[in-house]
């Protein structure tokens, strides 16, 4: 069947055998396609126009082998909530292969929930429909927001139940990512003292993600530097949109710099710097404001894994790595500030901008403003009809009112017209984010009524997060008190 050509080239399966376990998906009883991402498929060069829904369901459930697939589960380790677990690995995700897209770029295609693997430990290798829907809505929304992320190519319901706290309908997510190499993948071999493997992995990761650093000496510091930079940028982007990952374990942090493993993640409604949603994050380790520090903590674990490769004595290797790790904070701050300047309508750089941006959040928290809407509403203060627009929420506190005056004076020093400032703010501040209560509604309709229309409608709104459209006001509103989601669950 010519229509099912994935154009696979499976480089990971050519790495040494201790990198993975070759394992095929376990067939499910009655797979049904519940989501198929046509635009992603076409950008990957997959021509599935003539392929039936039934055929797609077979392929993306793993019931039928895709041509050229070389199924494997990757080995990795990881620090979970600060505790090292030497053996994790893909317990319920199975790589089908690496798609080479029409531009030559390589993408992993993985089925999450495809059955047990040698790394499943006590798990069933399956995924429940609710968490699959959450991941597909949020990952696609992140992409539309411009955040590096794994993406959702397809999802199927399996026709089987999985046992969690209660019995839940099962589902499988076909996700696509630049790769699934994690900090924990390096830790897996570091924990075993297998320097040959770490070197092979580091070479592979450098070639795959940072090929321009292949020739740079010493080679592995270049890789570390790139990952530090990519993660500084990624986490800065999260912090600009109010995203809380929820489980920033080292096995959930990629070398590519993409967001991965959407478990109990959430976007904030009302801004609270120490906000935690995840039901399993009892000590707030992965609270919103902790995310940059945690990223650095995780990157330090990557650095430790790479130290033996540097070919330097231990003291020199450590000091070289430390220098790079110390650069995380300034990189992070530069990315964060540059994003905040855009969100606040600023183009020129002034020394006071950092404090202006930080103070915005201080007052936003004081007045209990909505993270997303407060930025949009700021931009409306710049319009010609300013007298008629309602006061900004910050105006309800003395400090906030002062901040608004400072910001207004700062905007006056911009070389552009207010109109242009406003336009650029509207391009940098989303109108629509995947709010928890909206996700919850979509999940409930799907799980309780087998109705996927709410999911599709929400995804369509979120596919253009910056373009305000008439009739979509309900998607902008924070939840009613009775719909506020206080806790999110992994559901694994």
- Catalytic positions, please? 251
By beta-carbon proximity to ligand AMP, the closer residue of 21 and 334 is: 21
The entry of Mg ion, ligand AMP, none near residue 332 (CB within 5 to 8 angstroms by kind) is none
List the one residue from 252, 278, 290, 379 that touches Mg ion (CB under 5 A).
Answer: 252
Assign 472 to helix, strand or coil: coil
Q: Under the rule (CB under 6 A), what is the footprint of ligand AMP? A: 88-92, 119-120, 123-126, 247, 252, 261, 263, 490, 492
Residue 139 or residue 252: which is nearer to Mg ion going by CB? 252
The option from Mg ion, ligand AMP, none interacting with 28 (CB < 5 to 8 A, set by class) reads none
Choice between 93 and 310, CB closer to ligand AMP = 93
Query: How far apart are CB 111 and ligand AMP at their closest, in Å?
Result: 12
- For residue 172, the surrounding DSSP H or E stretch is strand 167-177
**Residue 436 sits in the site that holds Mg ion (CB under 5 A):** no
* Count, residues in the chain: 492
List the structure tokens of 85: 């677990």
Residue 192 burial (C-beta neighbours within 10 Å; 0-12, 13-18, 19+): middle
> Interacting stretch for Mg ion, rule CB under 5 A, among 257-265, 346-354, 450-458, 476-484?
257-265
**Shortest spacing between CB 115 and ligand AMP, in angstroms:** 9
Among 140, 258, 261, 359, binds Mg ion (CB under 5 A): 261
Please tell me the distance from the alpha carbon of residue 146 to that of residue 335, in angstroms, as a whole number.
14
Look up residue 93 and give its two tokens: 């995700």
Burial zone of 283 (CB within 10 Å; 0-12 exposed, 13-18 middle, 19+ buried) = exposed
Stretch 335-374 residues interacting with Mg ion (CB under 5 A): none
- Least spacing, CB of residue 261 vs ligand AMP, in Å: 5
Give min distance, CB of 233 to Mg ion, in A.
21
In sequence order, which residues have a C-beta less than 8 Å from that of residue 14 and are 6 or more positions away? none
CA atoms within 13 A of residue 56's CA, in its CB half-sphere: 23
DSSP summary character for residue 463: T
Smallest gap, in angstroms, from Cβ of residue 281 to ligand AMP?
A: 12
Secondary structure in 3-state letters for 418-433: HHHHHHHHHHHCCCCC
Q: Does 256 bind Mg ion (CB under 5 A)?
A: no
Note whether 448 and 129 are within 8 A (CB). no
Q: How many residues bind Mg ion (CB under 5 A)?
A: 2
Residue ranges binding Mg ion (CB under 5 A): 252, 261
């Amino acid at each position: 069947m010519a229509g099912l050509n994935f154009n696979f080239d499976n480089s990971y399966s050519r790495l040494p055998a201790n990198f993975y376990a070759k394992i095929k998906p376990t067939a499910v009883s009655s797979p049904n396609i519940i989501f198929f991402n046509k635009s992603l498929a076409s950008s990957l060069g997959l021509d599935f126009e003539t392929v039936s829904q039934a055929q797609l369901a077979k392929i993306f459930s793993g019931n039928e082998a895709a041509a050229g697939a070389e199924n494997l589960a990757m080995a990795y380790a990881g620090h979970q909530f600060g505790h090292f677990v030497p053996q994790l690995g893909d317990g319920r995700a199975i790589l089908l292969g690496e798609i080479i897209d029409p531009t030559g770029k390589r993408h992993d295609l993985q089925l999450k929930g495809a059955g047990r693997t040698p790394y499943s430990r006590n798990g069933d290798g399956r995924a429940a429909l609710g968490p699959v829907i959450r991941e597909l809505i949020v990952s696609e929304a992140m992409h539309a927001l411009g955040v590096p992320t794994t993406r959702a190519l397809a999802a199927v319901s399996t026709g089987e139940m999985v046992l969690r706290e209660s019995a839940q309908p099962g589902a499988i997510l076909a996700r696509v990512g630049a790769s699934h190499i994690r900090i924990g993948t390096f830790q897996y071999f570091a924990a075993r003292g297998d320097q040959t493997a770490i070197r092979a992995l580091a070479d592979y990761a450098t070639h795959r993600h940072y090929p321009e650093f292949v020739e740079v000496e010493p080679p592995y510091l270049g890789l570390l530097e790139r990952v530090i930079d990519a993660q500084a940028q990624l986490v800065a982007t999260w912090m600009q949109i109010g995203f809380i990952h929820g489980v920033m374990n080292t096995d959930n942090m990629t070398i590519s710099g993409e967001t991965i493993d959407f478990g109990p993640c959430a976007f904030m409604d009302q801004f609270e710097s120490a906000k935690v949603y995840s039901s399993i994050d009892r000590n707030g380790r992965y609270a919103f404001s902790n995310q940059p520090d945690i990223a650095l903590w995780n990157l330090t674990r990557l650095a430790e894994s790479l130290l033996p490769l540097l070919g330097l004595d231990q003291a020199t290797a450590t000091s070289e790595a430390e220098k790079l790790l110390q650069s995380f904070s300034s990189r992070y701050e530069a990315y964060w500030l540059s994003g905040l300047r855009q969100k606040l309508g600023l183009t020129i750089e002034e020394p006071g901008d950092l404090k202006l941006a930080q103070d915005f959040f201080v007052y936003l928290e004081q007045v209990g403003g909505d993270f997303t809407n407060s930025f949009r509403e700021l931009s409306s203060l710049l319009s010609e009809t300013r007298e008629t627009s309602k006061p900004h929420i910050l105006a309800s506190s003395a400090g906030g009112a002062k901040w608004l005056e400072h910001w207004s004076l700062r905007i006056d020093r911009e070389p552009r017209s207010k109109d242009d400032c406003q336009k650029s703010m509207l391009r940098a501040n989303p109108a629509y984010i995947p709010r928890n209560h909206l996700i919850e509604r979509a999940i409930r309709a799907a799980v309780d009524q087998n109705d996927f229309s709410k999911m599709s409608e929400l995804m369509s709104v979120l596919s253009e997060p910056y373009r305000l459209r008439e009739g979509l006001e309900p998607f902008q509103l924070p939840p009613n008190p009775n719909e506020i989601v206080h806790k999110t669950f992994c559901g694994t």
